[in-house]
Chains A and B, each alone.
Chain A
Amino acid sequence: MGVRSSFQSQSRESESDEAIERAIDETIRRYFMRHEPAPRVYARAISAAQQRSAAARDGSAMRSWIVAVASATAALLLVNITIHFFGVVAARAASDIDGRTGPFLLWLSSTGLARWISESETVFGYSGVLFLHTLGLAMAVGASVVVDLRMLGAASRISIAALLPVFRFMWIGFIVNALSGAMLFAADAPRKAANPLFEFKLVLIAVGIALMATMERSLLKSQSGVALAGSERRLTRLAIASLLIWTAAIVAGRLVAYTF
């Protein structure tokens, strides 16, 4: 009764299409209030929606590959630039260690812990601390890379909010490396302090950690419901910066081992 009567009463006043459409809408609404659509209608709608997002995923995976190749190229360039510029500076500084060594650095390298690390032949000495430093690097940068790749569109089935626990692994790796790094520095303080590459490396790590902390904060904010305007784009930019900075920090770290 519903459709026909309302249709007729409307059309008697005016033959406007608008009224007809309103009547159709009303009928559909009433129908679906009483009848649940068949499960396969749902299934079809869901699979249609998923296929679209799969296509979008392919697009972002492509973008991730481009970023990866760009990062690798940037890494190669960085190595060469760093060797040519900082290597020369480091070599010059090497001849000038004694003049620059202060009493603090001498005291630091003469402490029991520092001498244990540099003189012990066992795995609990220098080699063990160096292993912890490498494992901490793999954890901190590895966790950062997971977050960065997700921000750049890889593994899009991981929700952004689900990334938050990953930062915990990054912080554990960072703490391991701060402690083991301090020990390695103490064991060889005067030489490390004289190496400009070492300072460069510390600056890069500080920037890298600051970038990750910024990302973590903005994820926490978006999780607590505070919408950030353009936060997606900002996070993408932070992810690219983070990948480049960690690459540069690793290159600088490796070169510290060569220049001294």
Chain B
Amino acid sequence: MESMHAFAIWLKSTDLSWLVTHHGWVWATCEALHFIGMSLLFGCIGALDVRMLGWWKSPPVAGVNALVRWGVLGFLINLVTGAVFFIGEPLQYVDNPAFRFKMLFLILAGWNVLLFYVSGVADRIESLEPHDDTPISAKVFAGTSLFLWIGVIFFGRMLPFLGNSF
């Protein structure tokens, strides 16, 4: 944690950090893009989750799978804009408990995605037609995914309240 703090102080002293905080529009633009990326990620990944949970059974699983790449695009937007926030104000994040929980949930969501593909569940449900029910293993992955992403949104929103970020 000490080295993390030292890293944050060094990061704050860089020109790049100054660039982010000196121009008001950088932060505002990234905030707007962060919310757009969130909608893209939550909409497209959530679509696959609700298909697997059986709350939207009318399309084939492969059809909904084609939306995942758009969810990944949303994630990349948020990774970049999130990094901009961290570079701009690293000190308000490193000691923030909400930020740590958000990162923990993000890592868990990443593991969930990895296991979903590595375990072969993704391949097993790929060929399911409209109105086919998914196996319970797929439902567990989908439920976990929804829970973790809602958690990421929750702790992201709590950044200014549990800690001191804005």
B44–A145 CB distance below 8 A: yes
Using Cβ atoms and an 8 Å threshold, which residues of chain B touch A130? 157
User: Is B130 part of the binding interface, using a Cβ–Cβ cutoff of 8 Å?
Assistant: yes
Interface string of B141-165 (1 = CB under 8 A from A): 0000000001001101110110000
A142–B59 CB distance below 8 A: no
Which of B29, B33, B36, B154 has the most chain A CB within a 10 Å cutoff?
B36
Cross-chain contact of A80 among B25, B47, B64 (Cβ < 8 A): B25
- In the bound assembly, the distance between CA atoms of A251 and B32 in angstroms comes to 5
User: Is A127 part of the binding interface, using a Cβ–Cβ cutoff of 8 Å?
Assistant: yes
**Contacts A127-B157, A131-B158, A138-B38; is A149 near B28 (CB within 8 Å)?**
no
User: Is A75 part of the binding interface, using a Cβ–Cβ cutoff of 8 Å?
Assistant: yes
Tell me the smallest distance from the CB of B109 to a CB of chain A, in Å.
14
* 8 Å CB interface, B36-79 against A: 36, 38-40, 42-44, 46-47, 50, 55-56, 58-60, 62-64, 66-67, 70, 73
Please give me the residue from chain A that is nearest to B35 by CB atom: A250
Number of inter-chain CB pairs below 8 Å? 123
**Contacts A155-B64, A169-B50; is A143 near B43 (CB within 8 Å)?**
yes
Please give me the residue from chain A that is nearest to B27 by CB atom: A258
B42–A139 CB distance below 8 A: yes
Please give me the residue from chain B that is nearest to A150 by CB atom: B67
Cross-chain contact of A83 among B24, B43, B130 (Cβ < 8 A): B24
- In the bound assembly, the distance between CA atoms of A160 and B46 in angstroms comes to 19
Using Cβ atoms and an 8 Å threshold, which residues of chain B touch A247? 36
**Contacts A246-B39, A254-B32; is A157 near B62 (CB within 8 Å)?**
yes
- In the bound assembly, the distance between CA atoms of A254 and B50 in angstroms comes to 28
User: Is A141 part of the binding interface, using a Cβ–Cβ cutoff of 8 Å?
Assistant: yes
- In the bound assembly, the distance between CA atoms of A251 and B46 in angstroms comes to 22
Overall SS of chain B's interface: helix
A254–B39 CB distance below 8 A: no
A135–B39 CB distance below 8 A: no
- The size bracket of the interface on B is 35 or more
B39–A142 CB distance below 8 A: yes
- In the bound assembly, the distance between CA atoms of A158 and B36 in angstroms comes to 23
Using Cβ atoms and an 8 Å threshold, which residues of chain B touch A131? 153-154, 157-158
- In the bound assembly, the distance between CA atoms of A145 and B47 in angstroms comes to 10
User: Is B132 part of the binding interface, using a Cβ–Cβ cutoff of 8 Å?
Assistant: no
**Contacts A131-B158, A166-B47; is A149 near B67 (CB within 8 Å)?**
yes
A146–B44 CB distance below 8 A: yes
Which of A79, A155, A157, A159 has the most chain B CB within a 10 Å cutoff?
A155
Please give me the residue from chain B that is nearest to A127 by CB atom: B161
**Contacts A134-B153, A250-B32; is A145 near B60 (CB within 8 Å)?**
no
Please give me the residue from chain B that is nearest to A65 by CB atom: B73
A83–B25 CB distance below 8 A: yes
User: Is A175 part of the binding interface, using a Cβ–Cβ cutoff of 8 Å?
Assistant: no
B35–A254 CB distance below 8 A: yes
Tell me the smallest distance from the CB of B55 to a CB of chain A, in Å.
8
User: Is B31 part of the binding interface, using a Cβ–Cβ cutoff of 8 Å?
Assistant: yes
Smallest CB-CB A-B distances: 4 pairs: A142-B43, A157-B63, A162-B58, A155-B66
Q: List 29 A-B contacts (CB under 8 A).
A: A72-B33, A76-B29, A80-B29, A123-B158, A137-B35, A138-B38, A138-B42, A141-B39, A142-B39, A142-B42, A142-B43, A142-B47, A145-B44, A146-B47, A146-B67, A155-B63, A155-B64, A156-B63, A157-B66, A159-B58, A162-B59, A165-B56, A169-B50, A250-B32, A250-B35, A250-B39, A254-B28, A255-B28, A255-B32
Give 12 A-B pairs besides A138-B153, A162-B130 with Cβ atoms closer than 8 angstroms: A68-B73, A83-B28, A134-B157, A138-B43, A143-B43, A146-B67, A158-B60, A158-B66, A166-B56, A247-B36, A250-B32, A251-B32
